[in-house]
Amino acid sequence: MDRRAALSLLSILLVVAAGTVFVLDSEARRRAIAAEETRLGAELAASECINTYGTSTTVSDESASVVGRGLNGWTVRVSHPYWYNTNRSHADTSSESVYVVGPDSVRYAGGESVGPTC
């Protein structure tokens, strides 16, 4: 294989690899956002003093960033809006959490608790 053909093949492989990383990052972000929305709903529903709640956008939009990649998967930092009402208060805020997204799993790795202390 001559030098020009080798460089062309290498260029094609780099473009394919870059596209694969982009797709995998976007999928990891999407799955982490979905997991955070599920976690928020479960925590808010379990609170005894919350009358109504939601995970719709009120103050800010949902966002996710891949902050690391490793053998266990992609580490994704997620911010997701939520709101709730109690008999005494109303809140519009956003969560901050971290997830590890693997090929077949999404694991909550930590973050702040949500909702009021009843």
Would you state the structure tokens that stand for residue 22, as one six-digit string?
Answer: 């982009």
Give the count of beta carbons closer than 10 Å to the beta carbon of residue 13.
10
> Which pLDDT does position 7 carry in this prediction?
57
Is residue 109 classed exposed, middle or buried when 0-12, 13-18 and 19+ CB atoms within 10 A define those classes?
middle
Would you state the structure tokens that stand for residue 14, as one six-digit string?
Answer: 């780099």
Three-point CA angle 98, 101, 71, nearest 5° = 110
Instruction: Tell me the pTM.
Output: 0.78
Judge contact between 36 and 73, C-beta under 8 A.
no
> Which pLDDT does position 11 carry in this prediction?
55
- The Cα–Cα gap between 97 and 110 comes to 6
> Which pLDDT does position 10 carry in this prediction?
57
Element (H, E) at 75: strand 73-86
> Which pLDDT does position 109 carry in this prediction?
98
Give the count of beta carbons closer than 10 Å to the beta carbon of residue 97.
21
Three-point CA angle 57, 61, 66, nearest 5° = 140
* Series of mean pLDDT values for 10-residue runs along the chain (118 residues): 63 47 80 98 95 87 95 94 95 96 95 89
> Which pLDDT does position 56 carry in this prediction?
87
> Which pLDDT does position 16 carry in this prediction?
43
